[in-house]
């Protein structure tokens, strides 16, 4: 069990949460939610002991698994050893034992070795390497990778090693901040199955709505300067929270109406002979005074893309036998496909299989080594790159309004500010320098540039990265309503399920295409494999 006792956290004059007391119980899986800036990561750091609360205390069980982010600290250790470090008692015993075996053997050393072997046995140390390899394999690492130093692995695999470290050693509680980042669909499914079997208390922060809906038994929502526990998954929380707020607002309106009627009576008869009735109504007015409802910190951007002013040809993209390699690595080989006007195509596949390469080829950022991509008539492309810096040069000192100004000729500043307002940049925030934008703010800025125009084709590479759940949902609805052609790559299954009616899947045995939804494709694939 994890217990927060009267936790308060203030950032300057801003209160994230105040006097919060809550218990996270064994056997329950809690999704920690709230918009960007609500304090999710701050609360996780407080529970991990990496940051102090303004006041209050945290009680943790003896063994807690944390998802760390400090890759550099582990870069010179074998991947399997980094996983075993998740059990600090075991790892310290192994390191001390190995060091003692290198020195002179004395009676004292022998006694100490006996103590250490006992600790190693208690902590299942003799199967530790095998257990670590099972976790690494589930996360998609090969046997060859197990004994490599973490720094030699691709960046996404390095993060997976740290996730395995958090899961290792049967922790009594797990604190996972964005565990699905850098995971492909297969690894996410493996993690979901692992967490379903986990018996301790789990607290997880994730922007993956499908993941939260799949694993969570409860949602701990940071809002109204406190933490409210809702039973059920994320969708259930949204429904319950909306209903509770609506009930409170309706009750307040009812009270206001009754108070207004009582006030009229008091004003009419206050100076007359009905003094006792007047006093009775004054008392009743005080009892019926509406409760002050704290302002919710939920903000939902309004993402809608302008309908194209000019339609593309019936076949915007005709892909004819394209191949693309980088050195000796063959990413795409002899792929042919036709994309029809109005298609909503979800591009899926494990990391490194070529999703970004394919989208760059379609967007004209890269050229194929062989074959060609024939553009249809009047194709006008809006492109969202996975690497924001490919589009937003943060070395240039310019504010958001001025960065957007040349994106559409003749657009007035008031119109630009209107688009920014829909993306939650209100008032003076539009004058914020792009060099100071967070990842989520940069993503919303790029989306604003797409909303300003009337592209008939949108190509989006992991646009959900850095966005909060509310923004991802709004993006999904916007793309679903969009009247043009969409090609989107993402590991967010909820987003792909909402948008896509065709699938391009980059699998180990090649590129597969499917006319239908993501769920239909995954069901078909499960039957075939």
End residue of a domain, out of 137, 165, 193: 165
For the whole model, what pTM was predicted?
0.76
Number of domain units in the chain: 3
> Is 517 part of any domain?
yes
Average pLDDT over residues 246-264: 66
Residues 242 and 114 both lie in one domain: no
Percentage of the chain modeled with pLDDT above 90: 60
Average pLDDT over residues 68-85: 91
d(CA 37, CA 15): 11
Residue 188 sits at the vertex; the CA angle it makes with 184 and 194, to the nearest 5 degrees, is 150
What's the mean pLDDT when you consider all of the chain? 88
Residues 265 and 369 both lie in one domain: no
> Is 189 part of any domain?
no
Look at residue 358 and tell me whether its pLDDT is greater than 80: yes
Residues 363 and 503 both lie in one domain: yes
> Is 226 part of any domain?
no
d(CA 460, CA 347): 10
Residues 423 and 382 both lie in one domain: yes
Look at residue 198 and tell me whether its pLDDT is greater than 80: yes
d(CA 74, CA 96): 19
> Is 327 part of any domain?
yes
> Is 176 part of any domain?
no
- Per residue in 280-322, pLDDT tens? 777 776 676 655 545 555 667 899 999 999 999 999 999 999 9
> Is 27 part of any domain?
no
- Per residue in 130-147, pLDDT tens? 999 999 999 889 999 999
What is the pLDDT, as a whole number, of residue 329? Answer: 87
Residues 512 and 441 both lie in one domain: yes
Residues 259 and 376 both lie in one domain: no
- Per residue in 46-56, pLDDT tens? 998 889 999 99
> Is 26 part of any domain?
no
Residues 11/68, Cβ–Cβ less than 8 Å:
no
Residues 377 and 496 both lie in one domain: yes
d(CA 451, CA 460): 13
Residues 256 and 338 both lie in one domain: no
> Is 53 part of any domain?
no
SS in 3 state form for 261-297?
Answer: HHHHHHHHHCCCCCHHHHHHHHHHHHHCCCCCCCCCC
Residues 445 and 358 both lie in one domain: yes
Structural domain of 460: 317-528
Average pLDDT over residues 340-365: 93
Look at residue 186 and tell me whether its pLDDT is greater than 90: no
Average pLDDT over residues 510-529: 85
Higher-confidence position of 186 and 343 = 343
Confidence of residue 225 (pLDDT cuts 50, 70, 90): confident
* Torsion 130-132-138-141 (CA) sign: negative
H-assigned helices in 182-233? 185-196, 209-215
């Amino acid at each position: 069990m994890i217990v927060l006792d009267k936790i308060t956290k203030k950032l300057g004059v801003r209160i994230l949460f105040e006097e919060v007391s809550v218990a996270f119980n064994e056997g329950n899986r809690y999704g920690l939610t709230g918009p960007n800036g609500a304090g999710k990561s701050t609360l996780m750091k407080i529970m991990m002991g990496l940051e102090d609360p303004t006041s209050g205390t945290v009680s943790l069980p003896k063994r807690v698994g944390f998802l760390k982010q400090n890759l550099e600290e582990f870069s010179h250790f074998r991947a399997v050893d980094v996983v075993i470090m998740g059990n600090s008692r075991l790892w310290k015993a192994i390191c001390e034992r190995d060091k003692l075996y290198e020195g002179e053997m004395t009676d004292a050393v022998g006694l100490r070795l006996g103590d250490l072997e006992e600790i190693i046995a208690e902590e299942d140390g003799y199967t530790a390497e095998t257990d670590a390899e099972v976790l690494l394999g589930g996360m998609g690492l090969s046997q060859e990778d197990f004994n490599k130093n973490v720094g030699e692995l691709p960046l996404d695999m390095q993060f997976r090693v740290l996730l395995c470290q958090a899961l290792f050693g049967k922790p009594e509680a797990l604190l996972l901040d964005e565990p699905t980042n850098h995971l492909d669909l297969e690894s996410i499914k493996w993690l979901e199955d692992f967490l379903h079997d986990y018996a301790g208390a789990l607290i997880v922060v994730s922007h993956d709505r499908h993941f939260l809906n799949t694993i969570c038994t409860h949602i701990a929502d940071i809002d109204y300067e406190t933490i409210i526990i809702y039973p059920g998954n994320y969708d259930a929380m949204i429904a319950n929270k909306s209903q509770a707020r609506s009930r409170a607002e309706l009750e307040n309106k009812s009270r206001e109406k009754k108070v207004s009627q009582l006030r009229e009576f008091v004003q009419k008869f206050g100076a007359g002979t009905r003094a006792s009735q007047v006093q009775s109504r004054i008392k009743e007015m005080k009892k019926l005074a509406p409760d002050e409802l704290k302002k919710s910190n939920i903000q939902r951007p309004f993402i809608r893309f302008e309908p194209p002013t000019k339609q593309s040809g019936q076949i915007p993209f005709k892909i004819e036998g394209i191949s693309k390699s980088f050195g000796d690595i063959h990413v795409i080989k002899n792929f042919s496909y036709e994309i029809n006007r109005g298609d909503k195509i979800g591009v899926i596949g494990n990391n490194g299989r070529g999703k970004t390469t394919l989208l760059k080829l379609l967007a004209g950022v890269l050229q194929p080594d062989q074959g060609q991509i024939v553009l249809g008539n009047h194709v006008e492309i809006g492109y969202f790159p996975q690497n924001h810096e490919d589009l937003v040069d943060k070395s240039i000192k310019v504010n958001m309004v001025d960065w957007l100004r040349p994106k559409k000729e003749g657009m007035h500043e008031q119109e630009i500010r209107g688009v920014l307002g829909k993306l939650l940049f209100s008032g003076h925030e539009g004058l914020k320098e792009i060099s100071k934008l967070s990842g989520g703010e940069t993503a919303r800025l790029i989306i604003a540039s797409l909303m300003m125009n009337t592209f008939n084709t949108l190509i989006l590479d992991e646009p959900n990265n850095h966005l909060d759940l509310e923004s991802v949902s709004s993006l999904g609805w916007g793309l679903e309503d969009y009247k043009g052609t969409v090609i989107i790559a993402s590991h967010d299954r909820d987003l792909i399920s909402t948008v896509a009616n065709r699938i391009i899947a980059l699998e180990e045995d090649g590129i597969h295409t499917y006319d239908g939804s993501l769920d239909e494709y995954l069901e078909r694939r499960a039957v075939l494999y």
